[in-house]
Structure 1
Amino acid sequence: MDGGSGLNIMYAKTLDEMGVDRTNLRRIRAPFHGIMPGRQAIPLGQIDLPVTFGDQSNYRTETLTFDVVGFPGTFLAILERPCYVKFMAVPNYTYLKLKMPGPRGVITSFRRAYECEVECCGHASAVVASEELATLREEVVEETPNAKKSSGSFESTEGSKEVLVDPSSSEGKKVHIGTALSSK
């Protein structure tokens, strides 16, 4: 569930796992932006596929056009504004729910959207962490460790004082805080 774009995106891996032959793709060469930060993406092609929301008692199927991309993603597909228009659906991003009219009342879809959101957050964190690590490796110059200093030791600097973490506790755990900090 996104809503920020005019494209429905499907990953080639999803298409392959569905058993759909890639020869069914219509070739397009128009690039788009916003899927991979700072880069343009050129889809492998487009395909029209039926999409169903609901359950056996109340469901609706419409045919959607997907731009198929060859890079990996955490989702199976990304449904955008064209999907919402076709299904007359209303997304609620706070609750990750999608509501649309069905033949027997309102259809609400949310469970899989939540699972995908959780998975995507984990994937995004891993990507950001790996990129940050690569940047740090490039920027950091290895320093020779000081043999006099044991690893894990802490030396207080001027302008700090020791304060008990929990004055009512008998453990006596302390923390160093800066005395030159503003009240903010």
Structure 2
Amino acid sequence: MGKQAIPLGQIDLPVTFRDPANYRIETLTFEVVGFHKTYHAILGQPCYTKFKAVPNYTYLKLKMLGPCQVIVIGTTFQHAYECEVECFEHASAIIASKAILPTNLDYGAPRVREYNKQGAEASLEDAMDQLNEACDVALLCLAKYQ
């Protein structure tokens, strides 16, 4: 089971997609949490329902009706990869910062006894290799669909 995030509160914000010539604006309610992540906001089913939007995860697109024409929001596999790298680096920094705490040293916690710097570096290198392989696959998929 993962860690829990208890909301600090909620905030209603206007969200706009696209440009002044063809746009949609709706007010969404966001849960505010007190931890650092690489995401500024996560848009899920409530957003899709309010905007009557359809996500296409294969092509990394979000489509919705606009006043003039269909609004298409998209990204590239390269940008998705860069976000994943940023998320991985952020998570690695958090893990590294929590690896050995002075309070754990006083009590001889198992986490401190089991920490192996070489093993941690090898694990990080393996994870980066897996991430690079995922990037290669994403780039191949991108080339395939262009």
Q: TM-score by structure 2 length?
A: 0.59
Q: Percent identity?
A: 55
One-letter amino acid of the counterpart of residue 120, structure 1: C
| Structure 2 CA distance for partners of 1:119 and 1:83, relative to 1, 3 Å | same
The aligned runs of 1:149-164 (5 Å cut-off) are none
State the AA in 2 paired with 1:58. N
1:94-151 deviation per Cα after TM superposition (whole angstroms, max 9, x unaligned): 2211100011110001149974x33431133224545389479834399xxxxxxxxx
Q: 1:86 aligns with which of 47, 50, 56?
A: 50
Instruction: Measure, in 2, the Cα distance between the counterparts of 1:108 and 1:59.
Output: 10
Query: Partner of 1:126: helix, strand, or coil?
Result: helix
Q: Deviations over 1:81-102 (max 9, x none)?
A: 0000000000111221110001
Q: Which has the higher helix share?
A: 2
Where in structure 2 are the equivalents of 1:83-162 lying within 5 Å? 83-111=47-75, 115=79, 117-127=80-90, 129-130=92-93, 131=95, 134=99, 138-140=114-116
Q: Is the 8 A contact 1:74 1:119 kept in 2?
A: no
RMSD: 3.2
1:38 matched to 2:2: yes
Unpaired segments of 5 or more residues in structure 2? 100-110, 119-146
Other structure's SS at 2:85 match: helix
In structure 2, what residue type is equivalent to 1:74? T
1:141–1:64: structure 2 CA closer, same or farther, 3 Å change rule? closer
Q: CA deviation at 1:44?
A: 1.2
Give unpaired runs (5+ residues) of structure 1: 1-36, 143-184
Matched, 1:76 2:40: yes
**What letter corresponds to residue 103 of structure 1 in structure 2?**
P
Question: With structure 1 as the length reference, what TM-score do the two structures score?
Answer: 0.48
User: Which residue in 2 is equivalent to 1:29?
Assistant: none
- Cα separation, partners in 2 of 1:139 and 1:53, compared to 1, 3 Å: same
